[in-house]
Amino acid sequence: MRYFCASLVALGVAACASAPTVPRQKLGEIEFRDYARPTQTPITYSVQTGRVFNPNLDMSVGTDGKVSGSVGSGMLQLLPSDKAPPPSTPGNVVQTWRCPAGGNVTLEVTSDGKWMSMSGYATTTNRVQIRMDAKLQLGTGPAWEEMRNNPALLAVAAAIAGVRGEPVNSDVPPLAQPASAR
């Protein structure tokens, strides 16, 4: 039995040592405040190339374009869909994502890159539904630029931070209508 355990540990160490690691550039941090409780302490996320994380969330974009990772005690996966609706304003970028555990999310980033709208929900492996219904004003800097390039990461991070609705006095254009099941 002792030899079996020692072999198992050695195999685990060898697997970790030989697993390729993806070097990710550190880009900075982003933070969110709940629109309903603006005086509450903001939720902060670290951003790397293709990844956003904090102690409660760790999501990344795979080489296959899928977004996956951990949310609390569950796992979440988002798959890109080719059934995105037309943008509400010409020049905006619209994406639709499907969650295998349940749900769809439609994201729209304005052509000037200053706002993102999200509508829908996703379900984690432990059956927690994450509502993604908000309009976000995007910041500046390398971390925010990465979020513009990967709006699904931004949507999950904002939803987990509790962002719902839209900020007061926003000039956000309306969200494109979510794609119907075609």
Is 53 inside any structural domain? yes
167 within some domain: no
pLDDT for the residue 3: 55
161 vs 133: CA distance, rounded Å? 12
182 residues of the chain, pLDDT tens digit each: 555 444 444 445 444 444 445 678 999 999 988 777 778 889 999 999 999 999 999 999 999 999 999 999 999 999 999 889 999 999 999 999 999 999 999 999 999 999 999 999 999 999 999 999 999 999 999 999 999 999 999 999 999 998 988 765 544 444 333 333 33
pLDDT of residue 176: 38
At residue 86, the pLDDT reads 94
Structural domains in the chain (count): 1
Reported pTM: 0.80
Q: Is residue 34 part of a domain?
A: yes
The whole domain housing 48 covers: 24-160
161/178 Cα distance (integer angstroms): 23
Specify if 1 maps to a domain: no
What's the confidence (pLDDT) of residue 149? 96
pLDDT digit string, tens, across residues 121-147 = 999 999 999 999 999 999 999 999 999
CA-to-CA distance for 73 and 128, rounded, in angstroms?
10
Range 103-142 burial, b when 16+ CB lie within 10 A, else e? bbbbbbbbeeebbbbbbbbbbbeeeeebbbbbbbebeeee
Contacting residues for 14 by C-beta, under 8 A, at least 6 apart: none
User: Is 134 part of a structural domain of the chain?
Assistant: yes
Per-residue pLDDT, 39:
83
Assigned domain for 124 exists:
yes
pLDDT score recorded for residue 169:
53
pLDDT for the residue 168: 58
CB atoms under 10 Å from CB of 13, counted, come to 10
Query: Could you tell me if residue 126 is inside a domain?
Result: yes
Please check whether residue 155 is in contact with residue 130, taking contact to mean a CB–CB distance below 8 angstroms.
no
Q: Which pair of tokens denotes residue 20? A: 């390729």
CA neighbours within 13 Å on the CB side: how many for 31? 7
